[in-house]
Amino acid sequence: MPTGVADFDSILQGGLPKGSVVLLLGDVGGGGLEFALTSAAKIGIVKEFPDTRNFMLGDAGRAGVLPDKISYVTFSRSKEDILQEVKLSFNKDFYESLRGTLLFKDFSKDYFVHTVVPTNWLDSEESGLFTDKKNDGLLESMADFFDVNAPNSLVIIDSLTDLVVSESVNFQDVIALLKGIQRMAKKWGAVFYVMLTDEILDRKRQQMVIDSVDGVLKFEWARFHHTSKRQRYLYVEKFMSVLPHLDQERIARFATLITAQSGFVVINTERVG
**How does pLDDT run across 132-144, given as a tens digit for each residue?**
444 458 999 999 9
Strand order in the sheet with 251-259: 102-106, 69-74, 153-158, 191-197, 20-26, 215-223, 230-239, 251-259, 263-271
- Looking at residue 135, its pLDDT comes to 43
- Looking at residue 158, its pLDDT comes to 94
Lowest mean pLDDT among 76-90, 105-119, 253-267: 105-119
Global confidence as pTM = 0.91
pLDDT tens profile 175-212: 999 999 999 999 999 999 999 999 999 999 999 999 99
In 3D, which of 70, 66, 77, 11 has the Cα closest to residue 37? Answer: 70
Q: What is the mean pLDDT of residues 98-126?
A: 78
Q: What is the mean pLDDT of residues 21-29?
A: 95
CATH for 6-271 is: 3.40.50.300
Contact 58, 66 (CB under 8 A): no
- Looking at residue 52, its pLDDT comes to 93
